[in-house]
Amino acid sequence: MDTQVETVLPVYIVGDSHSLPYHNLVFRERWTGAWVMARTKYIPGLTAHDFFNPATGEFHPEFIGFLEYEGLVRAGRATHLSMDEVDFAIAKAAAQSVLPPLILIAVGEIDVRGPIMRILKDTHDFVPPFPTTLPLLDKSLVPWDVIEEAIEERLGPFIAGLQQLIAAGFKRVYVQSVVPPTRKEERIRELQAYDCPVTVRTKLVQAFNWKMAAKCRSINLTMLDNWSDLTDGGLLRPEFDFDGVHLPPRGARVYLEALIDDAIDSRGLVANHPRYELYYRAACGLDPFQVTAPGAV
């Protein structure tokens, strides 16, 4: 059926407070002229560590709640890949293409600012294993492996959760990198009750993103990394320093456009094979929901 009514391309954005700048964002993307609309869910205090519990195999309840509310999950299954008659009827009533959804997850900033930054405070610095323009301060050094271990400990459950999402059929998932931290020292003191120099905390965010990007790549997901757009001289550009923690909405749009630019050429993932199975059966005059063994027709 050829659908004629114009609809938006939804991007489902879920995460900690860094999902908030996306709220109600809408724009026309430059590839097809489609309207892109951010559908956001802010989960207070969500961390990478608490996104998923590998011991129980369960996600954060509010994450699942969001997927259910948006109709992406029903009874523990991805609805877009469902061959269930109920999900088929729901899709029919919506009369729109059933596509693997685009999902953007924003977590990690609380992990960095909380348990990891505490290792360094204003007494220590570290040398990361990647090139950086940020200086090494005249402070005691924490070995990289200590920093790495702390990052791994926070990221482990998150990556396990992403793998579970992929296994559930959500393959068009993106991860927002942690945004560069504010340059304002007094803001960090206010938030953390201790000091940590801007170059040290910025380098720490770089290190976290570096690890997260590698882990995302290893499971064929993309971490959106717009560091060079958002920084100047290695530090957050003042025009993107909104409230000392978050990006302004136009900073969020930079990430969203990066997602669209990547997704437009990743449409090999867009074909909905279960829906074709149903369609093919119906075209052959069979009951689409009555599975028969191949060759038994």
Partner 1 sequence: MTITLTLKNSVGLLKGSFNRALARLGYRLVRADTLDRLIAERAQPAAPAAKPETAPPTAGDVPKPPDGRFKLLPSANQAPASCTALAPKFDPLKTPSQLGDNIVAFQQDGITVISTSAEKAATWRETERFDRDVGNRHSAWDWAGNSAESYTDDLQAGLPSPALVEDLHALFSGGDFEAFFRGVLGCRAKVGNVRLVRSRPHLTDGVGPQEWHRDGCPAGVIRGVLYLCDVDGQTGPFQYKDEAGRENTVLGKTGDLLIFDATRLLHRGSGPSHKTRSAIDLVFMPRMPDEEMKIMVVGMNHWPADPFFYKMPKERLPDHGSVPSHDERRIARLY
For residue 235, the cross-strand partners are 232
Q: How far is the CB of 140 from partner 1 (least distance, A)?
A: 26
Which run of H or E residues covers position 251? helix 249-263
Stretch that binds partner 1, among 17-25, 51-59, 185-193, 196-204 (CB under 8 A): 51-59
Stretch that binds partner 1, among 18-26, 196-204, 244-252, 256-264 (CB under 8 A): 256-264
- Comparison of 138 and 233: residue with beta carbon closer to partner 1: 233
Stretch that binds partner 1, among 27-35, 111-119, 181-189, 197-205 (CB under 8 A): 27-35
- Comparison of 63 and 197: residue with beta carbon closer to partner 1: 63
How far CA 72 is from CA of 67, 95, 134, 198, 279, in Å, comes to: 5, 15, 42, 40, 21
- Comparison of 188 and 260: residue with beta carbon closer to partner 1: 260
Q: How far apart are CA 205 and CA 223, in angstroms?
A: 14
Instruction: Let me know: does 80 contact 100? Beta carbons within 8 Å.
Output: yes
Select the residue interacting with partner 1 from 189, 271, 287, 291 (CB under 8 A): 271
Q: How far is the CB of 208 from partner 1 (least distance, A)?
A: 12
The SS3 call for residue 212 is: helix
Q: Is 210 in the site for partner 1 (CB under 8 A)?
A: yes
Q: Is 93 in the site for partner 1 (CB under 8 A)?
A: no
Closest CA to 64 of 8, 12, 11: 12
Q: Is 233 in the site for partner 1 (CB under 8 A)?
A: no
Q: How far apart are CA 164 and CA 216, in angstroms?
A: 13
Q: How far apart are CA 101 and CA 118, in angstroms?
A: 37
Q: Is 32 in the site for partner 1 (CB under 8 A)?
A: yes
Q: How far apart are CA 213 and CA 177, in angstroms?
A: 8
Q: How far is the CB of 244 from partner 1 (least distance, A)?
A: 21
Select the residue interacting with partner 1 from 9, 20, 134, 136 (CB under 8 A): 9
Site for partner 1 in 116-145 (CB under 8 A): 130
Q: How far apart are CA 265 and CA 196, in angstroms?
A: 41
Q: Is 78 in the site for partner 1 (CB under 8 A)?
A: yes
Q: What are phi and psi of 78, to 5 degrees?
A: -65, 120
- Comparison of 136 and 254: residue with beta carbon closer to partner 1: 254
Contact mark string toward partner 1, 143..182, x via CB under 8 A: --------------x------xx-xxx-x-----------
Half-sphere exposure of residue 264, counting CA atoms within 13 Å on the CB side? 12
Stretch that binds partner 1, among 20-28, 116-124, 184-192, 260-268 (CB under 8 A): 260-268
Select the residue interacting with partner 1 from 53, 136, 137, 244 (CB under 8 A): 53
Q: How far apart are CA 248 and CA 12, in angstroms?
A: 18
- Find all residues with CB under 8 Å of 256, minimum gap 6, and list them: 11, 22, 25, 27, 36, 38, 104
Q: How far is the CB of 143 from partner 1 (least distance, A)?
A: 21
Select the residue interacting with partner 1 from 18, 40, 48, 100 (CB under 8 A): 100
Q: How far apart are CA 16 and CA 287, in angstroms?
A: 45
